[in-house]
Amino acid sequence: MTSLWNDEEASRFKTDLDLRVYTSRLLGCDPSLVLHGGGNTSVKSTATNLFGESEEILYVKGSGWDLATIEAEGFAPVKMEMLLKMSELKELSDTDMVKYQRLAMTNPSAPNPSVEAILHAIIPFKFVDHTHTDAVVTITNTKDGEARIKELYGDKVLVIPYIMPGFVLAKLIYDMTRDVNWSELEGMVLMNHGLFTFSDDAKKSYEKTIELVDKAEKYLEAKGATLNIERAYVSLELLTLAKIRKEVSNLKGRATISILNDSDIAVHFSKQNIDKIAIQGPLTPDHVIRTKRVPAILGDDFASDLAEYVKEYKNYFEQNKKDETLLNPAPNFAILRGNGTLSFGANAKEANIIKDINEHTYEAILKAEKLGGYKALSAANIFEVEYWSLEQAKLKGGASAPEFSGKVAVVTGAASGIGLAIAKMLNKRGAAVVALDINPDVEKIFSKADAIGVKCDLTSSQDIQNAISCAVKSFGGVDIVVSNAGIFTPSENLDSLSDENWQRSMDINLTSHQKLIKYTAPFLKLGVDASIVMVASKNFPAPGKGAAAYSVAKAGQTQLARIAALELGEYGVRVNTLHPHAVFDTAIWTDEVLRNRAKAYNMSVHEYKTNNVLKTEICSNDVAELVCAMAGAPFAKTTGAQVAIDGGSDRII
């Protein structure tokens, strides 16, 4: 492992806290050191209070912040005097620890201090760095892990037996170090937990972490604990993935994102003796609030395997509970025998966090096996953290789930106009979105973990199938299909309508919608409260001259939706249609076109844009709102409906 410290860059940071932010980010940018909010750092400094008095302050990472992106406001300022007095107490409950740490803060709007704030306070150095480094924790999670750590570091590192984080850990270290000469120590290794380094100099503390981790990595290599992973190939039916996701969603009682991990290491791990190595427990106990203690292991009869997992989880709970309440017993990830793994989350972010944690765990387990065998903490120790009130608070701290959380939406024509507005609104309201468009810009527009753009020619069956494959592998299935893509063909009367324009309109404005239904229907049948929303046109109920190619195709699309409603209703799939008209903020309505059209009707542009019964303008977001209503609770018991969104047209009314 190589230090990322840059003297020139570091010289720009003048205050203690600025340097603390800098080195915290250096640690946080390496996922082999910390993952998704893991680890914590601190700096001891002084501040002048309201009365002009100087106070010793510990700036410690606040709960909910990630070291990779932390800012100065992510550090909680806590009075050192209070923390040191707390460390001398014989006992302190978790609730009281959190309460009194907050009372000792100099800024009440700052985040809650880390549960390890007291531990940071008693370490007598300015800078303290705590990481969950893969290499060190891998060594600790072996049958003779403590002996190996002592062999590696000798007396320069204090080895702390595993104990729950928080006050009890701080108290243990306080008692263990009363007679320790701290200046002789380079760090502390917390068994099954992580590494602490410290110094009065930011660079030295950071680089001590790098040095100790580098030694651990070289130790693993010298002991033959390296991996040679071959290129992975799997053969999984997409419908099987959708069926598993449906079953897990049922067990969790809500729509669930399911992400397939078919990386080389995930597949390699799934081909090992997983009944032995995968069911011991997580790499470090704080992972349990994300991953649960063990995965479900799924074979051909995955429904039975999932039922057995739930049964075993309940047994685990009964064996370890005191007065806790059972959490949802469904798995948070699963190993598909020989075919990789799945992670399950309330949203794509959560599922991806679980996926990332597991990737690091697979590697650690495989290396630990080469050191004589992986050995995690006992089920009782893991349970203690899983049901620890302070850890559960991390998961409960967020706002209530958005409307479409856990849902998977496919939106066509999503690179611009109405489709773009729909895809963005569904995503903003919690859905994982797969946005399709023939314009390759869609891949740049949607490039987030929960919103993927796919270049797709909707007249191509293969392109559509590839896009659906992407949706199922990325998110587990399909719940919402918004069939929006379409084109306006040139205005031509019937006696001059070209065969080319007629066929082009039929292909894109009608047949593409039929193809989309054909290839998504099998997955919608396995969806959660599944629905199709057809974006048709006012030209169906109120056609105009010169628009035969467009109007007839839109009439066919509307009829297609009605038939789909009849055929898919028995599977709980709703199909509804909306007919937008005069949506002026789309690409075809340039300022020039608007001026010319308004002039032709002897109107101002504003009069032309509000030429409807309600005298209101229709925008893409208005259409998106109606799509969300049709895909959501307001239309939960409606199918086969057609709704105009046009401000009221006297021709339709």
pLDDT digits (tens, 9 = 90+) for 30-76: 999 999 989 999 999 999 988 999 999 999 999 889 999 999 999 99
Domain membership flag for residue 228: no
Domain membership flag for residue 215: yes
CATH number at residue 468: 3.40.50.720
pLDDT of residue 398 exceeding 70, the answer is no
pLDDT of residue 560 exceeding 80, the answer is yes
- For residues 638-653, average pLDDT: 94
| pLDDT-based confidence at residue 394 (cuts at 50, 70, 90) | low
Rounded to an integer, what distance in angstroms lies between the CA atom of residue 19 and that of residue 153? 28
In a shared domain, residues 274 and 326: yes
In angstroms, the Cα distances linking 481 to 162, 379, 473, 631 are 50, 43, 16, 9
Q: Can you read off the two tokens belonging to residue 53? A: 């008095």
Four-CA torsion 305, 310, 311, 312, nearest 10 degrees = 90
Rounded to an integer, what distance in angstroms lies between the CA atom of residue 533 and that of residue 510? 14
Question: Structure pTM?
Answer: 0.93
Beta-strand relationship, 341-345 and 451-455: unpaired
Rounded to an integer, what distance in angstroms lies between the CA atom of residue 451 and that of residue 423? 9
| pLDDT given at position 396 | 61
Domain membership flag for residue 403: no
Rounded to an integer, what distance in angstroms lies between the CA atom of residue 148 and that of residue 367? 14
In a shared domain, residues 14 and 129: yes
In a shared domain, residues 263 and 116: no
| pLDDT given at position 352 | 97
pLDDT digits (tens, 9 = 90+) for 277-308: 999 999 999 999 999 999 999 999 999 999 99
pLDDT of residue 371 exceeding 70, the answer is yes
In a shared domain, residues 62 and 198: yes
Domain membership flag for residue 232: no
Three state DSSP letters for 6-57: CHHHHCCCCCHHHHHHHHHHHHHCCCCCCCCCCCEEEEEEEEECCCCCEEEE
Rounded to an integer, what distance in angstroms lies between the CA atom of residue 617 and that of residue 622? 9
pLDDT digits (tens, 9 = 90+) for 96-121: 999 999 999 999 999 999 999 999 99
250 class by beta-carbon count within 10 Å (0-12 exposed, 13-18 middle, 19+ buried) = middle
- The amino acid at residue 267 is V
| 23-27, 137-141, 177-181, 314-318: least confident range | 177-181
b/e per residue 382-418 (b: at least 16 CB within 10 A): bbbbbbbebbbebeeeeeeeeebbbbbbbbbbbbbbb
In a shared domain, residues 209 and 277: no
For the packed helices 499-506 and 548-568, what is the interaxial angle rounded to 10 degrees? 20
Q: What is the DSSP letter of 431?
A: -
pLDDT of residue 395 exceeding 80, the answer is no
- For residues 397-419, average pLDDT: 90
In a shared domain, residues 266 and 129: no
For the packed helices 145-153 and 202-222, what is the interaxial angle rounded to 10 degrees? 120
Domain membership flag for residue 311: yes
In a shared domain, residues 594 and 449: no
Domain membership flag for residue 174: yes
Supply the residues annotated as catalytic: 550
In a shared domain, residues 485 and 550: yes
Domain boundary, last residue among 198, 222, 246: 222
Instruction: Name the residue range of residue 361's domain.
Output: 238-396
Q: Which 3 state secondary structure label does DSSP give 354?
A: helix
In degrees rounded to 5, what are phi and psi of residue 358? -65, -40
pLDDT of residue 213 exceeding 90, the answer is yes
| 47-51, 271-275, 311-315, 555-559: least confident range | 47-51
Three state DSSP letters for 77-121: EEEHHHHHHHHCCCCCCHHHHHHHHHHCECCCCCCCECCCHHHHH
The structure tokens 């007629």 sit at 502
Q: Can you read off the two tokens belonging to residue 192? A: 């099954």
pLDDT of residue 478 exceeding 60, the answer is yes
In a shared domain, residues 384 and 301: yes
Q: Can you read off the two tokens belonging to residue 453? A: 């753009």
| pLDDT-based confidence at residue 601 (cuts at 50, 70, 90) | confident
| pLDDT given at position 235 | 78
In a shared domain, residues 466 and 515: yes
Structure-model confidence comparison of residues 434 and 592, the more confident one: 434
- For residues 252-258, average pLDDT: 97
In a shared domain, residues 68 and 181: yes
pLDDT of residue 390 exceeding 80, the answer is no
In a shared domain, residues 280 and 364: yes
Question: pLDDT > 70: what percent of the chain?
Answer: 99
Domain membership flag for residue 634: yes
Q: What is the DSSP letter of 439?
A: S
| pLDDT given at position 392 | 66
Rounded to an integer, what distance in angstroms lies between the CA atom of residue 653 and that of residue 651? 6
Domain count, the chain: 4
pLDDT digits (tens, 9 = 90+) for 228-249: 888 877 778 999 999 999 999 9
- For residues 418-444, average pLDDT: 98
CATH number at residue 203: 3.40.225.10
Domain membership flag for residue 231: no
| pLDDT given at position 393 | 66
- For residues 465-491, average pLDDT: 96
Contact 290, 354 (CB under 8 A): yes
Q: Which 3 state secondary structure label does DSSP give 568?
A: helix
